[in-house]
Amino acid sequence: MTKKFIIFNIWGDYGHFKKYYTTSSPLTFSIPPRTAIIGLISAIIGLEKNRYLSLMTKDKADVAIRIINPIKKVRISQNLINTKDWFWAPVKRGTHEPRTQIRFEYLKEPKFRIYFTHSDNGIYNSLKENLKNHKSVYTPCLGLSELIADFEFVDEVLVVRKFNNEDFIDICSVIPLDTIREIDLLVPNRKYFKERIPVEMHPGRIVTEYREVIYEINGNAIRAKVENTLILSNNDAIVIL
């Protein structure tokens, strides 16, 4: 049976996908990690927090991500409750200030295209119907609960063939670094960046796998020789995270 993919867009005013090594001044990944995408999909179809991670593992769900809006970041100062002296936290007492100001890094006007399929037809069809009807069970967000995400159904496509690294091909999605044999660096007006993102998480919310990915900051296709590229019936070439 030919594999099918659901394609949909997600976007918002701001997004924040916290990098695991930042504490006092939170930085954000430039793209939503796979772990964030499956969380957003689970919110749309109503999978509970204590269940969705075990239902969305890599052997069951395939996810690819395409950048639509160019990646832009801003820093915004926010007032948080100062918990250094927890017993005085909400009030001013002596030298204790009730608030502390932290600079957060945010994605500005982020928009991404998601390619998704699942081995469970119930989960697959539930997502397709909710996307088409613009309905969600829980509120989808772009990393933080305050950053509400909007979404739209784009298409449902078939996998036409699998393309390996015999020749260069224009790939529209983010590409895992370990699948790349060669990138055509002579293509003009391209800015390539690399990040290490979480792709798999234990039900106890412990990350079990990270993966380095390559992306073009303006969302342009990457011309490269890549293993396991999927060619879709809409002519998109993608690589699974």
pLDDT digits (tens, 9 = 90+) for 67-120: 999 999 999 887 776 666 655 455 555 555 666 677 889 999 999 999 999 999
Strand 237-238 with 229-232, pairing: antiparallel
Strand partners, 225: 182
The tokens of 26 are what? 């939170």
User: Model confidence at 49, in pLDDT bands (50, 70, 90)?
Assistant: confident
Sequence-distant (≥ 6) Cβ neighbours of residue 183 within 8 angstroms: 192, 214, 222, 223, 224, 225
pLDDT digits (tens, 9 = 90+) for 10-43: 999 999 999 987 666 789 999 999 999 999 999 9
Beta carbons of 9 and 68 less than 8 angstroms apart:
yes
Q: Look at residues 59, 76, 58 and name the one whose alpha carbon lies nearest to residue 15.
A: 76
End-to-end Cα spacing for the chain: 22
The pLDDT mean for the chain works out to: 90
User: Would you say residue 220 has pLDDT above 60?
Assistant: yes
Beta carbons of 66 and 173 less than 8 angstroms apart:
yes
pLDDT at position 51, please? 86
Rounded Cα–Cα distance for residues 77 and 156 (Å): 41
What architecture (CATH level 2) is domain 4-238?
Answer: 2-Layer Sandwich (3.30)
pLDDT at position 106, please? 95
pLDDT at position 99, please? 64
pLDDT at position 140, please? 95
pLDDT digits (tens, 9 = 90+) for 138-164: 999 999 999 999 999 999 999 998 888
Q: At what angle do helices 34-45 and 121-132 cross, to 10 degrees?
A: 80
pLDDT at position 82, please? 64
pLDDT at position 65, please? 98
**Span 50-74, average pLDDT:** 94
Beta carbons of 50 and 203 less than 8 angstroms apart:
yes
User: Model confidence at 203, in pLDDT bands (50, 70, 90)?
Assistant: confident
- The whole-model pTM stands at 0.90
pLDDT at position 163, please? 83
**Structural domain boundaries in the chain:** 4-238
Scanning the structure block, which residue is given the tokens 């015999």?
Answer: 166
